[in-house]
Structure 1
Amino acid sequence: MSDSGGIVLRVAAHGDGLTEDGRHVALTAPGDHVAADGSITPGPHHAQPVCRHFPECGGCQLQHLDDTALSDFVRDRVLNALVSQNITADEVAPVHLSPPRSRRRAVLHAINGPKGPRIGFTKERSHHVVDMMQCEVIDPRLFEMVAPLRRLLANRLPKGGGAEIILAIADQGVDVAIKGARFDGMGGHDAIIDFAEAHRLARICVDEGHGPEPRWEPRPVTISFGTIAVPLPPGAFLQATQDGEAVLLLGVKRAVGDAATVADLFAGLGTFALSMNAGTRVYAAEADRAAIESLKAGADAARLHAIAEHRDLFRRPLETSELDRFDAVILDPPRAGAREQTIRLADAKTPRIAYVSCNPASFAKDAGRLIEGGYRLKRVTPVGQFRWSTHVELVGAFER
């Protein structure tokens, strides 16, 4: 190792800078100089963090990177995962980064503090809640709920425990779901109603151990995919940003092309299934019963050619004979990937596959199986919906 230190060459998967002399150094950017004593001289890609809570808050790990370095990080996370499986994509599309203050869904935590509830994201690799006084990633409409929620939850959190708060932006406004707090008696009921009315919420649900119960929902809450509105179950998964969702959808539609029959596996609420071209016949499968019922309701209301099935694709993946009926398959599995489903897809005749992933490592392993089965990775699009985070998404297009 040189006594003079080294230059940071790139940012590794967990967010630390990797120097030319082999050191991993936290909070460094490509081009920074790290001296032998650990002191850092910022380089051209070192940015001034925009949030007072960085780096303590676990919501962001990369606010010290400028947009060039951040885009490179997102792209490299995807490409390095592919290289680990000896895979090369024919085309790598430009990286998409979601802008600041654009996240439309956030999972926050609340615990008792010396001056009242603390609400925010947890510290990296810790259960410590950083009390959120500023946030540059979530939509301002969500951030505006944090201070009022502190007042609402005062004296309503369990001793030694806490609550989970899921905030989302629905078609009708802000949707709030609280798990773990107690709202007993008429006082608790009135507090919820007053809170919902004062902040013009779309809905507020409370889960006191028996599942989420809507306590205020003046109109049915929905989320729209294009022109199709579907019921939004409390706490349901959504793509983190609308712009990120649009990029993923564009990648999926480009991969699917003019397919007349499409299977959307791990379909969720129908982000992709309900956005196919008019006349496309769609089969959608999803293990979450509430989500697939919402998808079905949206498809029926829009009179789409769609079949929705409640199906656990980890335990009961579509078999090769079933897959052979489709011109294209869309996959959007959880972080663990879709091992059992891609094993069967590798033997199928399906001409095209669109694979949306929130984990480049599991995607690369699944891609390896598909390629061994005769597919080619035509294009991959890296997406950074979780700005300043090490969490990376992508959409891959496969063809036989």
Structure 2
Amino acid sequence: MNAVITRLAARGDGATDDGRFVALAAPGDLVADDGTITPGPHHATPPCRHFPKCGGCQLQHIDDESYAAFLVDRVAGALRAQGVALPEMRAPHLSPPRTRRRAALRAERIGHRVVMGFNEEASHRIVDLAECHILAPDLFALVAPLRALLATMLDRKKGAEIHLTRTDQGMDVLISGVTVDELAATEALTYFAADHRLARLALDDGYGPQVRWEPDAATVALGGVPVSLPAGAFLQATPDGEAALLEGVREIVDGAATIADLFAGLGTFALPLSARAKVLAAEGARDPVLALKGAAARAGRPVVADHRDLFRRPYTAKELSRFDAVVIDPPRAGAKEQVVELAGADLARMAYVSCNPATFARDVATLAAGGWRLDWVRPIGQFRWSTHVELVAALAR
């Protein structure tokens, strides 16, 4: 007897109404008792030869309609689990294929060759990338040359991690787990960086990034303001995803004269918002907040950058009540300590940006108990074909 896949579970498996979970099934597929899948109208042909082995993607077998519905369901399910009434769920934004501007890849020497790519799903084995449909072409173009470079540096059974980020000046490459002391290897790094016109090449052998090549300071433009990019610093995964988040934040705080931007990072929101408002930008990581402070000063933007750990020392409700609006963009752990103070603050508007629906829903439940109302949520699918969900949400009193 065939069962119908009616939805996707949190890890991307197809689910039936009677509780069966079927890997690589899409909504509308029919599943026989022996597990055979008859593709339905939402079942797509995966574009990449590495799917489903590669852990970079889990959902290449579904169409965009089902992917958008999956993002909405993840957020709605998290809110229901916390007893939060569902708000308006806006149409998700989906980043197109081949638009990721940053990635972390692994490399390892196996015999006489180096393999480089993402880990296999639920494994430490590396998928040696021959193609990739999520990385921007300029990022993927460095995979083969980096593989050849590392072949001269990696010892047998030794591994490395490679962070690739597109900057205003070109590609930023950070290689961790490799020590280069010999003259020949040092020269090879320089030649590689020059030949590929890198913005920066840095190595981290366990003592922090050490820049080996940076002709001009590597920057990223945020709100039209160039910000120095610390090696390995966080940046939104795709330019269009960043723009979609910023569009939602601007709508929520429009007209506010003073704004507190909590967990501000490099200034993804603080710098664009500072074109029309005074902004307090709080960030716990030292290098990003110093980069933000310097960028705002050079551009003459009204931003006060505060190096502050909001988990250990959250702003009080009294301090937050001085602002017209708040933007909060915490890491995956959410903002449990800070949200308690926000719940009691005399504020009318808040933009909550999240990369974890579960901790977002937990924090919203705390805010709702303090009198806040969740007006709308827009899911953002920056990590194309993955189960990772981001969002921007509007809260008000």
TM-score normalized with structure 2 length: 0.98
CA RMSD of aligned residues (A): 1.0
- Which residue in 2 is equivalent to 1:219? 216
- Which residue in 2 is equivalent to 1:348? 345
> Given the alignment, which residue of 150, 165, 170 partners 2:167?
170
Q: Distance in 1 between matches of 2:224 and 2:18?
A: 54
- Which residue in 1 is equivalent to 2:310? 313
The one-letter code of the counterpart of 2:188 is: A
> Given the alignment, which residue of 110, 118, 123 partners 1:121?
118
- Which residue in 2 is equivalent to 1:84? 81
> Given the alignment, which residue of 205, 208, 212 partners 2:205?
208
Structure 1 segments of 4 or more deviating over 6 A? none
Q: 1:27-106 residue pairs with structure 2 within 5 A?
A: 27-106=24-103
- Which residue in 1 is equivalent to 2:386? 389
Q: Does 1:260 align with 2:254?
A: no
Q: Residues 376 and 399 of structure 1 are in contact (CA less than 8 Å); yes or no, is this contact kept in structure 2?
A: yes
Q: Distance in 2 between matches of 1:86 and 1:283?
A: 32
Q: Once the two structures are superposed, what CA deviation does each residue of 1:122-158 show, in whole Å capped at 9, x if it has no partner?
A: 1122111111111000101000000000111014224
- Which residue in 2 is equivalent to 1:9? 6
**Number of aligned positions between the proteins:** 397
> Given the alignment, which residue of 329, 334, 343 partners 2:331?
334
Q: 1:273-288 residue pairs with structure 2 within 5 A?
A: 273-276=270-273, 278-288=275-285
Report how far residue 277 of structure 1 moved. 5.2
Report how far residue 230 of structure 1 moved. 0.4
Q: Distance in 2 between matches of 1:278 and 1:304?
A: 7
The one-letter code of the counterpart of 1:294 is: A
Q: Distance in 2 between matches of 1:316 and 1:158?
A: 44
- Which residue in 2 is equivalent to 1:231? 228
The one-letter code of the counterpart of 1:268 is: G
- Which residue in 2 is equivalent to 1:141? 138
Q: Distance in 1 between matches of 2:282 and 2:344?
A: 20
Report how far residue 362 of structure 1 moved. 0.4
Q: Residues 114 and 151 of structure 2 are in contact (CA less than 8 Å); yes or no, is this contact kept in structure 1?
A: yes
Q: Residues 5 and 21 of structure 1 are in contact (CA less than 8 Å); yes or no, is this contact kept in structure 2?
A: no
Q: Distance in 1 between matches of 2:157 and 2:328?
A: 41
Q: Distance in 1 between matches of 2:386 and 2:35?
A: 24
Q: Distance in 1 between matches of 2:85 and 2:159?
A: 46
- Which residue in 2 is equivalent to 1:183? 180
Name structure 1 gaps, 5 residues minimum.
none
Q: Once the two structures are superposed, what CA deviation does each residue of 1:245-269 show, in whole Å capped at 9, x if it has no partner?
A: 0000011111112111111110000
Q: Distance in 1 between matches of 2:254 and 2:365?
A: 23
- Which residue in 1 is equivalent to 2:196? 199
Q: Say which SS state the counterpart of residue 122 (structure 1) adopts.
A: coil
- Which residue in 1 is equivalent to 2:370? 373
- Which residue in 2 is equivalent to 1:399? 396
TM-score normalized with structure 1 length: 0.98
Q: Say which SS state the counterpart of residue 360 (structure 2) adopts.
A: helix
Q: Residues 274 and 303 of structure 2 are in contact (CA less than 8 Å); yes or no, is this contact kept in structure 1?
A: no
Q: Distance in 1 between matches of 2:112 and 2:37?
A: 37
Q: Say which SS state the counterpart of residue 190 (structure 1) adopts.
A: helix
The one-letter code of the counterpart of 1:314 is: F
Q: Say which SS state the counterpart of residue 183 (structure 2) adopts.
A: helix
- Which residue in 1 is equivalent to 2:287? 290
Q: Residues 166 and 178 of structure 1 are in contact (CA less than 8 Å); yes or no, is this contact kept in structure 2?
A: yes
Q: Residues 331 and 356 of structure 1 are in contact (CA less than 8 Å); yes or no, is this contact kept in structure 2?
A: yes
The one-letter code of the counterpart of 1:212 is: P
The one-letter code of the counterpart of 1:251 is: G
Q: Say which SS state the counterpart of residue 252 (structure 1) adopts.
A: helix
Report how far residue 117 of structure 1 moved. 1.1
Q: Distance in 2 between matches of 1:295 and 1:173?
A: 20
Q: Residues 139 and 171 of structure 2 are in contact (CA less than 8 Å); yes or no, is this contact kept in structure 1?
A: yes
Quick one: percent identity of the two aligned structures?
56
Q: Distance in 1 between matches of 2:50 and 2:79?
A: 34
Q: Distance in 1 between matches of 2:111 and 2:70?
A: 39
Q: Once the two structures are superposed, what CA deviation does each residue of 1:160-217 show, in whole Å capped at 9, x if it has no partner?
A: 3311100000000111000011222211210101100111111100111211011000
Report how far residue 38 of structure 1 moved. 0.7
Q: Say which SS state the counterpart of residue 103 (structure 2) adopts.
A: strand
Report how far residue 89 of structure 1 moved. 4.0
Q: Distance in 2 between matches of 1:323 and 1:58?
A: 41
Q: Residues 265 and 332 of structure 1 are in contact (CA less than 8 Å); yes or no, is this contact kept in structure 2?
A: yes
Q: Once the two structures are superposed, what CA deviation does each residue of 1:96-120 show, in whole Å capped at 9, x if it has no partner?
A: 0000000000000011123411110
Report how far residue 289 of structure 1 moved. 0.4
